[in-house]
Amino acid sequence: MPPNTPNIILSVENICKSFGEHAVLVNFNLNVHQGENLVVLGKSGSGKSVLIKCIIGLLTPDSGRIVVFDKDTQTLNDAAWDTLRARVGFLFQSNALYDSMTVRENLEFPLRRHWIRLTQEEVEARVIQSLNDVGLAHTIDLMPDSLSGGMRKRIALARTLIMRPAIILYDEPTTGLDPITGREIINLMNSIREKYGTTSLIISHDMNCIKRTSDQIAVLSEGRCHALARYNDLIQSADPVVSAFFNA
């Protein structure tokens, strides 16, 4: 590796994934470097969410391998997966908040789930800090169904942050939000990166989100990484597959 090149903390190597006769990922390759925001761009149904679910272990690839923090995920048992997931934040497209729990209880849940040894005072401090990071400290004792869609997205992000992840996987973070709320979430993603130095893999087809958050963009087409470049390079591309996204 050349001097001053950031470490690769996530490597996707020749991943294939099919459902029946339908091949979704075909020898897909991707490297994400420490401190980088990398966006995966593709059409609806192109395999973006399948890719991110393979990375986090919710789906198992048919072949190839995924290496996270130098760990080959194919070799991990349940306990090792739990340890790895404690370092990987995952913001679900649906937010995946527990409706029967208050905001406080939703944020405390991952700390209990991963058996992190913290005192109650330390748990409380993390909850408050994470809510402050997303500007919603006043919602701590509210129920999710009393919050707007944008607020629920922020609470889901606060729950991700409470584990102090080294990398965050964002699955369509602005989908379903109005343009103003979408911009607020984009600004929040950038401020979190600046504050904590997190690495991000962002699955999106929202061009405003992609332009404002990405260092590099991987174009997913026909199951493969068709192109990998910066936004300003891709927007000038003569490749019809690429230009279809940027000149719509």
Q: pLDDT tens digit string along 182-206? A: 999 999 999 999 999 999 999 998 8
- Over pLDDT 70: what percentage of the chain? 96
Residue 81 and residue 104 share a domain: no
How many domains is the chain built from? 2
Residue 132 and residue 80 share a domain: no
Residues 42-99: tens digit of each pLDDT: 988 888 989 999 998 889 999 999 999 999 999 999 888 888 888 898 888 778 888 8
Residue 156 and residue 172 share a domain: no
Residue 1 and residue 23 share a domain: yes
Q: In what order do the strands lie in the sheet with 216-221?
A: 88-91, 167-171, 199-204, 37-41, 216-221, 224-229
131 found inside a domain: yes
Rounded Cα distance between 242 and 220, Å, is 10
Which residues fall within 8 angstroms of residue 29, CB to CB, at 6 or more apart? 12, 13, 14, 15, 225
> What is the model's pLDDT at position 149?
87
Rounded Cα distance between 245 and 140, Å, is 40
Residues 144-195: tens digit of each pLDDT: 999 998 899 999 999 999 988 999 999 999 988 899 999 999 999 999 999 9
> What is the model's pLDDT at position 114?
60
Domain that holds residue 177: 1-87+167-181+198-248
Identify which of 49, 14, 47 has the alpha carbon closest to the alpha carbon of residue 30: 14
Which residues fall within 8 angstroms of residue 69, CB to CB, at 6 or more apart? 9, 84, 87, 166
207 found inside a domain: yes
Rounded Cα distance between 88 and 198, Å, is 10
Report in angstroms the alpha-carbon separations of 14 from 27, 35, 198, 226: 4, 23, 25, 13
Domain boundary among the residues 108, 138, 164 is at: 164
50 found inside a domain: yes
Residue 11 and residue 75 share a domain: yes
Identify which of 164, 185, 151, 190 has the alpha carbon closest to the alpha carbon of residue 87: 164
> What is the model's pLDDT at position 19?
94
